[in-house]
Structure 1
Amino acid sequence: MSAEISDSVLRPVLSSTLRVTGATARSGLATWGQLHLLRHLRNAGDSANVLTFTVQVPLPEHCDVRGLQSVMCEVLRRYESLRTTYVTKGGPVRQVVAGEGELAFDLYETHAGHVTTLAGELAERLKELPFDIESEWPVRCAAVLTGGNPAVLVLAFNHMALDHGGALIVTAEMSRQLSGGEPGALPRWQPVDQADFEQSPAGVAICTRALDHVRRILQPAVATTLDVPPGDFGPMRALVLRMRSPAAIRAAETCARRLRVSSSSVILAAAAVALGVCLDRTRVVFQLVASNRVVEPQRSLVASVALDTACLVDFTEMSFDQVVRNAFNATVTAYIMGQCDPLAKDALLREQEVMIGRRIGLDVKFNDSRTDRSVAPEPSAEVLQQLMRRTEVVEEAYEFSGGGVYMNVWGTGAASEIVLAGDISELPRKVQHEILSGMERLVVASAVQDIPARELNHVAGVVPLVRGPNWVRCPGGYVDLDATREVWRRVARTDVADVYAEPADLGYHRLVGYALAVDDRSLGDIRREFVSFLDARYEIKAPDWYVRCVNPPHSMKDRAGWEGLQVVDEGNGHDDGEDSKQPPVPASSLAATHAKDSG
């Protein structure tokens, strides 16, 4: 490892070095998967070791130290991703595959009854420090010996180099060779080849289709989900809840068989309803984790190919069965559209933000990483109610949080857990508990019969979040008028400015910004400057209509004070010709309500 582990309790009986020579050396642009993980690593900062995962490989009885070292060297030679470092400065991110190098390999001795415990301790030790992606190979290794023979191999991988699917390929190859299999020909498809494909016309076409999918989902009415008052709930920033509910897992399987969909769709539908009830919306956008291992050559690629893909679950006036079918269809489409350049996706989001005038928040993620989803269905409602009494929720606190909400289903069979991790400055602890419990209630109630649309809120039992008196509902989510007014005055460069909300279609509000004209900027420049203030703030929105006046208003108590003033310019700020000058409703309409009255 590039850095010395601080823990000095564990001491190896043998410190060896794995040497690789004569392997392929080359470089190329980073893959989409690598770019995706690089963003997460940067966001994690000093907590980047959260993106290190470990694998323990039981070894055959006849395995000896020399044989294990030989297989390890062959695997390092075989998979280029295990010898890759990255150049992240001075231009586009590049991957560099080393043709030779060394890797530390320590071996620890213990008695047979302590192997599992020691392997677990080694796993924690190997991932204690984040990887240095610019100088360190993305794998660390150690072995546990009993009687001088290797019993368990412990591996730690940097997620930027490979995902769990890639790790399964690596460990399967190790086990095959340790059992006497020959190495065979090197894989023909490596990460550099994947990057070349992504830059090819075929790869660009795949990315374009995926971006079109995202664009279709990001309608103005579903721009963001976590449009909540920012808060401070003490030193504990991120909360992780692990719900062990055999009732929910079995009920999800029962409902899935009844509707002929996946059990993941049932849990996702419940998540959409519980979160939607909490946040007062009937359309929730998730980011699913697409494995992108459906077909070759990506299926056998040892790399990180999993990417986030947008998925819209709509439960407007739907029964729960309809929501589940909707979720199933949405996930199928999302997974098909799962391959996309994350930088191009970021550019699309910024483009859409300028268009709608507010921050787009794809900050609710959902993943089903269960290794075995087979469970015995429980068709009896009585049995499921009894199982619910055995539900346990374990609460953990973490200092690091990338923000947003992360939902995961993982484990094996009925012992699987439903995990909810959330930033409590966005969703307080009590709210997170309510959402998780609401998901369980919905899934269990849906096992044997449908839940009518009118009963979804009642069954979920989630209390809607209270935002405050000066929040109004706009397309794309709720808006804090006080915060928006503050930003508008900074952008207008004068305190003689105000924002008013007027009723629009479908129960939404439209924002109109008035200001004293103090310079000769165009409305387009003003709108773009407002958008530049959005950053990670989901509670503000650029006005839909701008009116700049020659003189200050007679009174700023309400909108009437601005009536009759000479107007310098007005429009929507989109710089799109005459249409930008046509207000959706008369700007002088006195039917509009003052900001303080619109909450």
Structure 2
Amino acid sequence: MSAGGQVAEALPGSPAGLVVRFQGGRTASGPPTSGQANMIRCVLTDPPEHMNYGFVLTVPPGKTLDDVVAAVVLLISRHESLRTTFRDGLQHVAGEGELVIGVHDSQGSADLADEVAARLQAVRFDPEGELPVRAAVTLSDGVPERVILVLTHTTVDAVGLSLLRVELNRLLFGETPEPVTAPQPLDVAWTERSPASLKRAQAAIEYWRTNLERIPRSTFTASVDDGDNDWLMPRLQVRSTVAARALGRIGARTGVSRSAAVLAAYTLLAGLRSGQRTAVALAISGNRFRPELRDYVGPLAQDALVPIDLDEPTFDGVLRRTRAAALAAYQNSRFDSDALIQVMEEVQRSRGVFFARDIVFNDMSVHGQGRRAGRTEEYEQDVRSHWLPEATMPTRVSLWVRTVEGEVDFTLWTDPRCLPRADAEAFGEGIARLLIEAADRDVPLSEVSGLTGVVPLERGEGWTTIDACWVHLPEVERLVRDAVGDRPFHVTEDGGRLVCHLAGPVSPVEVHTACVGRLSGRMAAMAPHHYVVHDGAPASPDGWAALPVLEEGTGR
């Protein structure tokens, strides 16, 4: 196969497939982009089903296996990210090489392609020694039916995957592709090392530090432990043509973009449900706001931290705050991930909380517009929803937006421990219903529960707010117990601070370090702010004040 997409000889490989050759442009090496560096770490440690992306396309009628292979090879030749491996701290772009394309006889099975995709997606990629793309084709009586492509997160993010899906589909139909005008990852990496880019990256780290020191560590705080969580999530798809029209009127009335309006409704309902005055969303595609990166095929998967203060009387106020917060977040969403991890660890120790990635917003609509225009009357009911099969997603609640013009179409992923199905249905449909109501008027926040059915969570005994975070005191006690073992202790709340009395001898720094080290995955726990080490233990919790004090301190 050649870089121009002309079919050359496909060499017979193993019985499972064909070995095909690709030729791209340059052979080159250089530093990884900040997005690639971030994803390499995740690909090596996170479950492969979270780090590998895949899609299945139906082959157009009349196409041969050679046609399908040629389309796949041309796709690889056009995008350096599909030919890039990583070793010795560098990315290495292969100008040519080989790829095995699996070939499978469907034998009448309509599900074979999906099964093959799942198998390919379940195996961890080796960023150092393996091309970051796996391909396969299913045949029926020698005629190609479906083509499968699986890529790792070092290669694309969700928007990049959408771009490749559209492009491969066009190639399968025999369209002549336009030249690639977006930068290749190696070009982005060198740009990121310019003085101006380095200055922006440092400013982004400071932006994160400032916000991490003040925002709630989670929004959907619940008394759960992620130790054995498989992150298998129910998914609710919500669609509404009426909400799409409403977004247009909201924009005309307030100047807020469609994407920001959806984000505002999402975070407002999250804050309402959880009883938080500030809701924190992590947007994972907003850092494509620069025009030159709009069609970039590479990972820009660095979170944009969007804290939205909800202390407003009306929804218009939340819309304005969301617009400002999102703009600031997107401008600070490219950074050195190692530096950010260090900042997060410092803040975790100083505040005694573990920052949870629990509200995610992924707006892919910029690459999905125009698909749903001209709906017939049967789709004109205001809001429709249905449950999709469960899938894994390591967050509490995620909103993946596909379209916001012609039809609002999004999928809500929910952790049932934090948002049971009945509540999730009200939440997902409530986003659309709030937008519809806000089309022509400024909705008072006092009316939102009645409009959407989303009501504040009732928290029982032991719940309190400390340092902008919901905290469950029994969970704090369990955290300390796991940290100190059989040593007697007692935790109290004193003026918005958690004070831990415990029997010595022991160092406050030692105990605090042990508590902080066990915070991960505990949504409702917080490490104590102050430790008082006593000489011995009292007979009852009320007796600690009478004991001599050996040492006290913050442990921070």
TM-score by length of 1: 0.76
- Residue pairs, 1:101-250, within 5 angstroms: 101-105=97-101, 122=113, 125-126=116-117, 128-130=119-121, 132-134=124-126, 135-141=129-135, 155-163=149-157, 165-166=159-160, 168=163, 172=167, 175=171, 189-199=183-193, 201-230=195-224, 237-250=232-245
Query: Can you list the C-alpha shifts for 1:178-233, whole angstroms capped at 9, x where unaligned?
Result: 656797xx979532343344355444322211112212222435222232111799
Q: CA deviation at 1:406?
A: 0.8
Match of 2:533 among 543, 548, 571: 548
User: Which one of the candidate residues 515, 518, 521 is aligned to 1:533?
Assistant: 518
Q: Once the 2 structures are TM-superposed, how far is the Cα of residue 365 of structure 1 from its aligned partner?
A: 0.3
The structure whose Rg is larger is: 1
Conserved? CA contact 2:505–2:550, under 8 Å:
no
1:147–1:221 Cα change, 3 Å: closer
Q: In the alignment, is the contact (CA less than 8 A) between 1:494 and 1:518 conserved in 2?
A: no
Report the 3-state secondary structure (helix = DSSP H, G, I; strand = E; otherwise coil) of the residue aligned with 2:298. coil
Partner residue, 2:503: 516
The equivalent of 2:544 in structure 1 is 562
Alpha-carbon distance in 2 for matches of 1:86, 1:512:
47
Q: Match for 2:502: what amino acid?
A: A
Letter in 2 for 1:100: E
Superposed displacement of residue 407, structure 1 = 0.9
Task: Output the CA distance in 2 between the equivalents of 1:562 and 1:102.
Answer: 71
Q: Is the contact between residue 250 and residue 438 of structure 2 (CA under 8 Å) also seen in structure 1?
A: yes
Note the alpha carbon deviations across 1:526-564, whole angstroms, 9 max, x for none. Answer: 3222211212212111222222222433x5343xx2234
The amino acid of 1:269's aligned partner reads A
Give the AA of the match of 1:514: H
Partner of 1:331: 326
The equivalent residue for 2:52 is 51
The 1:476–1:39 alpha-carbon spacing in structure 2 relative to 1, beyond 3 Å, is farther
Give the distance between the partners of 2:309 and 2:177, measured in 1 at CA.
Answer: 51
Residue of structure 2 aligned with 1:488, choices 476, 480, 496: 480
1:275 corresponds to which of 259, 270, 281: 270
Q: Is the 8 A contact 2:243 2:407 kept in 1?
A: no
The answer (yes or no) to whether the contact 1:244–1:416 under 8 Å persists in 2 is yes
Displacement, 1:155?
4.4
CA contact (8 A) 1:53 1:157 kept: yes
How many Å separate the matches in 1 of 2:322 and 2:39?
Answer: 26
- 8 Å CA contact 2:81–2:297 kept in 1: the answer is yes
Does structure 1 conserve the Cα–Cα contact (< 8 Å) formed by 2:369 and 2:404?
yes
Tell me how far apart the structure 2 counterparts of residues 525 and 177 of structure 1 sit (CA, whole Å): 64
1:91-111 deviations in Å (ceiling 9; x for gaps):
x7543333432123478999x
Tell me the CA shift for residue 327 of structure 1. 0.8
2:421 corresponds to which residue?
429
Report deviation, 1:176.
12
CA-to-aligned-CA distance 1:492-521 (integer Å, 9 cap, x gap): 56543100113x4xxxx32111112223x2
SS of the equivalent of 2:454 reads: coil
C-alpha deviation, 1:309, in angstroms: 0.8
Percent identity, aligned pairs only, is 26
Alignment match of 2:250 (pick from 255, 260, 265):
255
Amino acid at match of 1:501: E
1:392 maps to 2:385: yes
Evaluate the alpha carbon distance shift between residue 428 and residue 234 of structure 1 in structure 2; reply closer, same or farther with a 3 A threshold.
farther
Q: State the superposition RMSD in angstroms.
A: 4.2
Gaps of 5+ in 2: 1-14
Quote the Cα distance in structure 1 between the aligned partners of 2:550 and 2:160. Answer: 61
SS, match of residue 387 in structure 1: coil
**1:145 Cα deviation after fit:** 9.7
Shift of 1:129: 1.3
Q: Give 1:7's aligned residue.
A: none
Unaligned runs of 5+ in 1: 1-12, 378-382, 575-599
Which of 36, 39, 42 pairs up with 1:37?
Answer: 39
Distance in 1, Cα, partners of 2:498 & 2:419: 26
Alpha-carbon shift at residue 56 of structure 1 (Å): 4.3
CA distance in 2, matches of 1:487, 1:149: 60
The yes-or-no answer on 1:456 pairing with 2:448 is yes
Q: 1:326, CA displacement in angstroms?
A: 1.0
The alpha carbon displacement at 1:147 in A equals 13
SS of alignment partner, residue 457 of structure 2: coil
> Matches of 2:198 and 2:30 in 1, distance apart?
17
Alpha-carbon distance in structure 2 between the residues aligned to 1:309 and 1:447 = 27
Q: Contact (CA 8 Å) 2:36, 2:299: kept in 1 or not?
A: yes
CA contact (8 A) 1:123 1:155 kept: no
Counterpart of 2:267 in 1: which secondary structure?
helix
| Cα distance in structure 2, aligned partners of 1:259 and 1:31 | 37
Conservation of the 8 A alpha-carbon contact between 1:365 and 1:405: yes
Identify the match of residue 94 of structure 2 among 98, 101, 106: 98
8 Å CA contact 1:409–1:419 kept in 2: the answer is yes
Partner of 2:304: 309
- 3-state DSSP of counterpart to 2:91: strand
* CA shift in 2, pair 1:556/1:14, >3 Å: closer
Partner of 1:266: 261
* Deviation of the 1:66 alpha carbon: 6.3
CA distance in 2, matches of 1:490, 1:54: 43
Whether the aligned pair in 2 keeps the contact of 1:498 and 1:513 (CA below 8 Å) is yes
Alignment partner, residue 418 of structure 1: 410
Deviations 1:415-453 (A, max 9, x none): 442211122233333332232233233222212111123
Change (3 A) 1:310 1:412: closer
8 Å CA contact 1:273–1:315 kept in 2: the answer is yes
Rounded Cα–Cα distance in structure 2 between residues aligned with 1:172 and 1:492: 57
The total of aligned residue pairs comes to 532
